[in-house]
Amino acid sequence: MLTGRRPDTVRLYDFYSYWRHTSGNYTTLPQYFKQHGYRTHSVGKVFHPGASSNFTDDFPLSWSEPAFHPTTDEYSNSPVCIDLENGELKRNLLCPVLPALQPGHTLPDMESTEEAKRFLRTVGTEPYFLAVGYRKPHIPFRIPMKNLAQHSISKFATLDLDYPPYGLPTVAWSSFLDVRNRDDFQQLNVSFPFGRVPDEFKLRIRQHYYAAVTYVDELIGQLLKEVDQSRTIIALTSDHGWALGEHGEWAKYSNYDVAVRVPLVVSAPALPVRNDHQKIENVVELLDLFSTLVDLAGLPPVQTCNVKRPHKDTTCTEGKSLLPLLLSNSSEYGGDRGEWIAYSQYPRPGPYPTIFPNSDEPKLKHIQIMGYSMRTERFRYTAWIRFDPVNFERDWSIIYGEELYDHSIDPQENMNLIDRAPLVAIRDALRAKLQEKFP
């Protein structure tokens, strides 16, 4: 989203290298606005902190001033959750708290909201680009108790299909190691990698996730009160989804719709408003935000990257502008786009879940397989193929697993249809299109 380029172009598959040094000195979305006279500011988790953003959140190239990180970030994975049985402090997955009793007497996303509000009060009439990265509903669910109280556990139910789909290749499975490493989860003794989570704990995870969404929703509401929406473009989105028991998983580390599909809400003074609940159904990508926001702001359009050499130009995007779609305010817009397709990919160190190498978050040197996935209006097709992490080369002659889901009858992707004879022609056509995209 921030570079407008795919992972294979940026060559960023883990968090241990800086793409400007290893791939190319690409112009980022905030950098483009900065180059055109905007004051740019980063609050919270926008670029992933650490080596992958040069330990500076890409300052000063992308931002006019150093990025803001909440002082209480350092406690996000610390033992600050009170065990109600013995009063001990734990590193729990489920962590409702009283913010005033937490380190710093607040929580990171509360700090980010206050910083964003402070920034907005300083901009006056100058053009600005503000990016606010909230941590929640990311795990752990360290959230105010009052938000948990808004979601009675009685309204949640276990899923009918909370186990791996029929025909699922083991390479596709996410074993949710980050969840397994939490103190409260470890007490459940869930076997690795396919053990099922107890029903009572499933309900509590869902309850806490919804409470976390409510918590951050309240903060966004507080922030928007400070925004002059008559002169401001607003985009609300996320970097990934999260499985709440779908397919028996509790994580983001896959190519399922539940893991890669995200909300995308756009508001701008130039856009027509027919009602308050207009929804456009087309399949789009986060890559498209770069060009879309540039066009909405009336800046010089960003050129499309060369298909065969997307790393060649410093300033280009592999996405497309959604402005025509937004102006039409309808899913019927076709233009010259042809079929709407969203692509994703996820790496694995091997064909079976492992603790080491971490099959959910493998380091670049351990990656041996890449799962490439495409989502059309009707189908999701995924191929897990051989990948060389040294030369960044794909080998389509070695396929470790394939998945095919028909959203017209199975929107939750619970039936892998890859071995169904009547669908062979569809499978082959989708495979050919995916291989053409990632040769």
- What averages of pLDDT result for each successive group of 10 residues across the chain (439 residues)? 96 95 96 98 97 97 98 96 90 97 97 98 96 97 98 87 84 96 96 94 96 98 96 97 94 96 94 76 95 97 95 95 86 66 98 98 98 97 98 98 97 95 98 97
pLDDT at 339: 79
Residue 234 has a pLDDT of 98
In the block, tokens 């060369």 appear at 306
Q: Where in the chain is the domain with CATH 3.30.1120?
A: 341-438
Is 256 in contact with 246 (CB distance < 8 Å)?
A: yes
Closest CA to 439 of 377, 401, 379, 392: 392
CATH architecture of 341-438: 2-Layer Sandwich (3.30)
Q: What pairing do the DSSP bridges indicate for beta strands 39-44 and 81-82?
A: unpaired
**Would you say 290 and 1 are in contact if contact means Cβ atoms under 8 Å apart?**
yes
Looking up tokens 């095919």 gives 404
For residue 433, what are the CA distances in angstroms to 283, 318, 429, 437? 16, 17, 6, 6
Helical spans, DSSP H, in 47-186:
108-120, 145-148, 177-180, 183-186
d(CA 254, CA 173): 7
CB of 254 closer than 8 Å to CB of 174: yes
DSSP structural state of residue 430: H
The ranges of the chain annotated as CATH 3.40.720.10 are 19-340
197 Cα distance to chain centroid: 24
pLDDT of the residue at 3? 97
Measured CA to CA, the distance from residue 152 to residue 101 in angstroms comes to: 24
Residue at 236: amino acid letter:
L
| pTM, 2 dp | 0.95
CATH class label, 19-340:
alpha beta
Q: What is the pLDDT of residue 164?
A: 83
pLDDT in tens, 343-380: 999 999 999 999 999 999 999 999 999 999 999 999 99
> What phi and psi values does residue 379 have, to the nearest 5 degrees?
-115, 155
- Residue 280's pLDDT is 87
